[in-house]
């Protein structure tokens, strides 16, 4: 296994590559062997997955003689641990590209499967086998394919995950690292210390380039570096095609890793989600009952009543409605934040909240309304009054409050008309 990883290009997070190689070096003395659940080496090359307790367990899910976990019509394919070419199985610490592809193909042909979820927790792996696996998955999607970075999708794992239709990240997941690393190990100093000399007899000047018994010459280093650059360009091309970013945008990441929302901001993920909710949302999506609005933590739900009032107000009222009502959908989270955090909102918190949550005004128009409106009493006084009033019986207070709300609304409308020059 150690020889499989040394002196070849790895699409792998650099820190994880160092840890993996160090671990394998320690195990090398006694040998590192991989067995099936009965302790027998699988020589038939069949994909298999460790049937251990999973976060995706449900009363309706199970393996049911399938090579993947099936939950409510969703086939969960793990992309876990170090990713290796032609390994033949998957586990939590090491997985084969061939096994991942075999499970993907099986899920595509399985009539019980309605959608496929790649559950990714991997630092990456070998370049060998990675690009072919990525292309195969991207080109043979017959059913909805989602991926979740839970809780790492770096390098080769990022390449595989990018082939999905939608990509989700947990709030702590690390993803990206779109680059290539090659590690050369030299034993020349150690051999010299022990008085040992290795003689290599070869034909062809480049036959033994990168051998572990000599320090790496500069010209061989440059040769390996050039190869890494070419592979990185190919890698970035796959991600660019799969996700929709330009090649320059992908290369500009310079193999940086991103955490949670930062991956969404960089365009490498579509949404931050709780990993425990991903299957529920996927099954809802497959049944047509899921939506971005249901998942997002925004104030859009608070704005719904105002929108409903506009719809039911009749043709004349709709003609007088704010132009923002017919404008393209905007990011409500950013809009509300822009209104509530504007300097003009200071001393006008009630008005700011009304404009943010109960109107369709753009952030710019809302700020103009606040700027033209007088400052109100402190929020602390208002809150204290509300608390006191709610604890005391007030006959007829409802009619008074309603009249006051209408008066305040009239002030808001007058302030808005003044700000836009309507008399």
Please name every residue paired with 147 in a beta bridge, in sequence order, or none if there are none. 118, 167
Active site residues: 155
Residue 61: strand pairing partners = 71
Counts for the chain of helices (H) and strands (E), in that order: 18, 12
Residue with tokens 């990011």: 331
Q: How far is Cα 224 from Cα 212, in angstroms, rounded to an integer?
A: 14
Dihedral over alpha carbons 344, 347, 351, 354 (to 10 degrees): 90
- The answer to whether the CB of 178 falls within 8 A of the CB of 255 is yes
Distance CA 65, CA 69 (A): 10
Rounded CA gap, 175 and 189, in Å? 37
* Separation between Cα atoms, residue 363 and residue 355, nearest integer Å: 9
Dist. CA 40–CA 338, nearest whole Å? 62
CB 147, CB 117: distance < 8 Å: yes
Burial environment of residue 397 by CB neighbours within 10 A (0 to 12, 13 to 18, 19 or more): exposed
Contact 19, 138 (CB under 8 A): no
Please check whether residue 79 is in contact with residue 148, taking contact to mean a CB–CB distance below 8 angstroms. no
- Tokens standing for 345? 């909102």
Q: Among candidates 171, 170, 191, 180, which has minimal Cα distance to 14?
A: 180
Distances (CA, A) of 264 to 122, 150, 246, 258, 415: 18, 14, 16, 9, 38
What's the token pair of residue 65? 């003689």
Distance CA 398, CA 65 (A): 65
Task: Take residue 407 and report the two structure tokens written for it.
Answer: 């008066």
- Residue 74, SS3 per DSSP: strand
């Amino acid at each position: 296994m150690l020889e499989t990883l040394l002196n070849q290009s790895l699409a792998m997070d650099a820190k994880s590559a160092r840890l993996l190689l160090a671990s394998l070096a320690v195990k090398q003395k006694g040998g590192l062997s991989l067995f099936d659940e009965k302790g027998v080496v699988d020589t038939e090359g069949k994909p298999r997955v460790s049937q251990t307790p999973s976060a995706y367990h449900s009363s309706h899910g199970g393996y049911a003689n399938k090579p993947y976990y099936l939950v409510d019509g969703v086939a969960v394919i793990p992309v876990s641990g170090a990713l290796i070419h032609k390994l033949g199985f998957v586990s939590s610490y090491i997985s084969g590209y061939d096994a991942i592809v075999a499970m993907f193909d099986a899920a595509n042909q399985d009539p019980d499967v309605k959608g496929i979820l790649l559950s990714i927790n991997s630092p990456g792996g070998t370049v060998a086998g990675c690009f072919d696996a990525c292309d195969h998955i991207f080109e043979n999607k017959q059913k909805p394919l989602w991926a979740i970075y839970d809780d790492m999708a770096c390098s080769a794992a990022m390449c595989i995950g990018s082939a999905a239709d939608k990509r989700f990240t947990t709030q702590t997941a690390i993803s990206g690292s779109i680059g290539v690393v090659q590690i050369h190990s030299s034993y020349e100093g150690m051999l010299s210390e022990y008085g040992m000399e290795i003689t290599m007899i070869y034909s062809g000047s480049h036959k033994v380039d990168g051998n572990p018994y000599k320090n790496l010459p500069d010209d061989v280093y440059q040769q390996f570096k050039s190869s890494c650059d070419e592979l990185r360009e190919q890698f970035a091309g796959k991600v660019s095609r799969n996700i929709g970013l330009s090649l320059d945008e992908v290369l500009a990441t310079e193999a940086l890793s991103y955490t949670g929302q930062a991956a969404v901001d960089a365009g490498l993920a579509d949404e931050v989600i709780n990993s425990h909710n991903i299957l529920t949302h996927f099954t809802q999506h497959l049944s047509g009952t899921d939506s971005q609005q249901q998942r997002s933590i925004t104030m859009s739900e608070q704005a719904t009543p105002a929108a409903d009032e506009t719809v039911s107000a009749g043709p004349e009222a709709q003609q007088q409605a704010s132009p923002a009502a017919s404008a393209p959908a905007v990011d409500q989270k950013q809009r509300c934040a822009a209104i509530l955090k504007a300097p003009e909102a200071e001393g006008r918190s009630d008005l700011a909240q009304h404009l943010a949550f109960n109107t369709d005004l753009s952030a710019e128009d809302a700020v103009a309304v606040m700027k033209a409106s007088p400052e109100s009493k402190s929020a602390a006084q208002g809150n204290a009054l509300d608390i006191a009033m709610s604890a005391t019986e007030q006959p007829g207070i409802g009619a008074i409050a309603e009249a006051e709300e209408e008066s305040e609304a009239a002030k808001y409308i007058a302030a808005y008309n003044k700000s836009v020059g309507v008399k």
